[in-house]
Amino acid sequence: MKVLIVDDEPLARKRLTRLLQEQESFEVVAEAENGEQAIAACNVHQPDVVLMDIRMPIMDGLVAARHLANSPEPPAVIFCTAYNDYALEAFEANAVDYLLKPVNRDKLQAALAKAQQLTRVQITAMQESRSGNVSDRAHISARSSRGVELIPLDEVRYFLADQKYVTVFYVHENVLCDQLIDDPLKELEQEFGDRYVRIHRNALAAIAHIEGVEKSALGTRLKINGVREGPLVSRRQISDIRQLLQHL
């Protein structure tokens, strides 16, 4: 089985690598120093198991694990941490096991055996049942042909729903881009209600990027920084949007 080791401490990564060398049928395919690197490595190497620390810079292990839940074939995650107060959050993030540093050889072996017993279908079912539990995240995760892509919330301009699909529109390097995501519009509104405003029954817009409103042939459109033609504002929401503009 392919293993990815994620820890910001080089000595911790070396210790896990050494322990894995004693285990049959496990191969370390890559290492990473934080959650963002872990997601990128998973996209490239498609590991079966991720041994991951929790407290790391840039993106911690809990957030990374929740983003990895969006992978077409998510890996089994085993947390290896020096802190014993994240166990509940770890299992809510669908961890297979939770090991305290310094990682014990026997406990690691037992955790890896447990990971082997979990089929891809079981892991996917676990993660889909809890995929809405991401909180305090700074990114939206989207599936693409390259794997899981992280879209910074600061780049997001608006979300648009079309039946059961939601598209995120964001500006990256001055180019307007779009990606399909799995998050329902209602859950996005509940999670990010302080950053996004409902402008239509099928659309949320980033408050920080709203510049005004303008008339078009189809109705009133929102003027958004970096967007040539903004989404429509419903008649029901227009008064709320005008009030919001007075305070921006």
Structural domains for the chain: 2-130 (3.40.50.2300), 151-246 (2.40.50.1020)
Bond before 47 cis per omega within 30 degrees: no
Question: CB-based burial of residue 194 (10 Å sphere; 0-12 exposed, 13-18 middle, 19+ buried)?
Answer: exposed
Do the beta carbons of residue 86 and residue 54 sit within 8 Å?
A: yes
Q: What is the pLDDT of residues 138-156, one digit of tens each?
A: 899 888 777 888 999 999 9
User: Contacts from 152-156 at CB under 8 Å and sequence distance 24+?
Assistant: 153/192, 153/195, 154/208, 156/206
Helices within 49-145 (DSSP H only): 61-68, 87-92, 105-117, 120-130
Question: pTM (2 decimals)?
Answer: 0.69
Reported as a single tens digit per residue, the pLDDT across 8-33 is: 999 999 999 999 998 888 999 999 99
pLDDT value, residue 125: 55
**221-239 tens-digit pLDDT:** 999 999 999 999 999 999 9
pLDDT attached to residue 133: 47
Residue 202: name the closest of 236, 178, 244 by CA: 236
Span 110-128, average pLDDT: 69
Is the model's pLDDT at 135 over the cut of 80?
no
Round to whole Å and give the CA distance between 11 and 28.
15
pLDDT given for residue 134 in this prediction:
45
